Amino acid sequence: MTSLILSAGLVTLLVLAVLVFFLFRSRPLVSDNRRALNVAVYRDQLTELEREHQEGSLGDEDFSQAQEEVKRRLLEDTAVTPEVTDYTHGRKVALAVLLAIPVAAASLYMWRGHPEALNPQEVPQVSEKQIQTMVDSLQAKLDKNPDNPQGWAMLARSYMNLDRPKDAVKAFAHLVPQMDRGDTSLMVDYAEALAASGDDPGMVQAQGWVNKALALEPGNAKGLFMAGGFAFASKDFRKADTYWEKLMPLLEPGSQDANFVLENLNAARAQLKLPPLNADKFQMATGPSTPASANASSTVAGHVSVDPGLKDKIAASDTVFIFARSVGGPPMPLAVLRATGAQLPMDFQLTDAMAMSPQFNLSSAGLVTIEVRVSKSGKANPTSGDLLGSSLPVRPGAHGIQLVINRVQP
């Protein structure tokens, strides 16, 4: 809401600035028809950008860049050489217009808008009971349709957020096939749930999954942290020191995580009678990474299926796009695979060779989401009536991803 108010205020100020320019000039003024038209066009563009940003189709960074570009073009286009006319405006008219615009806008909003939304304290908050209701609803749906890995992963992580690790362990158990195919992010999350469940067998299993994850991905930050914690708990302080020293270069310097790990690292070193380390030691250091020979970070693979309720909506000639996007990055896909509706359901594999730019590929991303779009128009751009599916964020190199086409583009 704050960004909407700021955007609206900015557009109003821009309009007023143009009016002031014309109204306060003492020499013959120019026709403002073209300027007014430009202002209206760009105001609509700013409104459209705001709508896309609120809907989530435009990220914060992209929204900010696009907004600045519209403002720049607005200022350029309102500075065009005008055609001279033969009328002037007095200061009384200027003051009346300047006062009328914001008053009229505020009055219209108070009449037809939602002024209560301007008070952040009145925005409804999601209670823990509502969250619990949503989680229970998801559990009920998965009990009826258990072949939904994305749903089980969401449920398991939700249980962890609700501090219900034993329920999380049960949900993660449905994802063992995905872990066996090399999904290291699931491995370490499962290990966390097992360790938090509080029993000795769970702890042993947790260590096994962490070791497997680190064998596949030596630079898995969560795996390194947990491995160090297991070593410290078993009083193997030298191994804890080794794991946490590998982890430190992977963390943002000065962050809360980095400070916490450094504190634990020095606690292990104190047990070894070693001098403490400071954060400066790790500023130029590099952490472990997955060996390039494994080529793990250059591919993602999985299977696309269709929700039974949507099968009749897909024609054999429909175009199917399967693509990967960087989480938190630009909207441009990292890799794109094109197929047809006749090929569904189907296995897929995305690689660096399918990138739209050699510098912007799967290997360059930390986390990605895999999406599928059945396009009625044959175009990659979203249109109303397209059928969609998407995965939870995964690391490049993940296999066994299950994509389900289960939504319709509004």
pLDDT-based confidence at 92, cuts 50/70/90? Answer: low
**Based on the domain organization, do 113 and 182 belong to the same domain?**
no
Residue 389 has pLDDT above 50, yes or no: yes
Give the integer Cα–Cα distance in Å for 122 and 154.
29
Of 121, 141, 156, the residue that ends a domain is 121
Q: Does 265 fall in a domain? A: yes
Q: Does 155 fall in a domain? A: yes
Count how many domains the chain has: 3
Q: Does 400 fall in a domain? A: yes
Q: Is residue 71 within 8 Å of residue 45, measured between CB atoms?
A: no
**Which residues touch 162 (CB under 8 Å, ≥6 apart)?**
128, 131, 132, 135
Give the integer Cα–Cα distance in Å for 133 and 25.
63
Does pTM top 0.85 for this prediction?
A: no
pLDDT of residue 11: 54
Give me the sign of the Cα torsion angle 371, 372, 375, 378: positive
Peptide bond into 345 cis (omega under 30): yes
**Based on the domain organization, do 269 and 135 belong to the same domain?**
yes
What's the CATH number where 353 sits? 2.60.40
Q: Does 320 fall in a domain? A: yes
Q: For 325-364, what is each residue's pLDDT tens digit? A: 888 777 778 888 888 899 999 998 888 777 766 667 887 7
Give the integer Cα–Cα distance in Å for 33 and 75.
15
**Based on the domain organization, do 320 and 238 belong to the same domain?**
no
**Based on the domain organization, do 133 and 249 belong to the same domain?**
yes
Q: Is residue 83 within 8 Å of residue 30, measured between CB atoms?
A: yes
Give the integer Cα–Cα distance in Å for 403 and 148.
9
**Based on the domain organization, do 191 and 224 belong to the same domain?**
yes
pLDDT of residue 243: 93
**Based on the domain organization, do 150 and 224 belong to the same domain?**
yes
- The structure tokens listed for 163 are 């501090």
The string of DSSP codes covering 6-72 is: HHHHHHHHHHHHHHHHHHT-SSPPB--HHHHHHHHHHHHHHHHHHHHHHHTSS-HHHHHHHHHHHHH
For residue 230, the enclosing domain spans 129-282
Neighbours of 221 (CB within 10 A): 16
What's the CATH number where 180 sits? 1.25.40.10
Q: Which residues pair with 321 in a beta bridge?
A: 338, 373
389: left (phi > 0), else alpha (psi -120 to 50), else beta? Answer: beta
Q: Does 273 fall in a domain? A: yes
CA distances from 215 to 187, 219, 230, 242, 393 (A): 12, 9, 16, 15, 21
Q: Does 339 fall in a domain? A: yes
- The strand pair at 368-375 and 319-326 is best described as antiparallel
Q: Does 288 fall in a domain? A: no
Q: For 159-205, what is each residue's pLDDT tens digit? A: 888 888 999 999 999 998 888 878 888 899 999 999 998 777 888 89
**Based on the domain organization, do 248 and 228 belong to the same domain?**
yes
**Based on the domain organization, do 199 and 336 belong to the same domain?**
no
Q: Which residue has the higher pLDDT, 131 or 169?
A: 169
Of 79, 102, 121, the residue that ends a domain is 121
Give the integer Cα–Cα distance in Å for 313 and 408.
10
Of 98, 121, 144, the residue that ends a domain is 121
**Based on the domain organization, do 232 and 92 belong to the same domain?**
no
Q: For 262-317, what is each residue's pLDDT tens digit? A: 999 999 999 999 999 988 888 766 667 544 433 455 788 889 999 998 989 999 98
Q: Does 287 fall in a domain? A: no
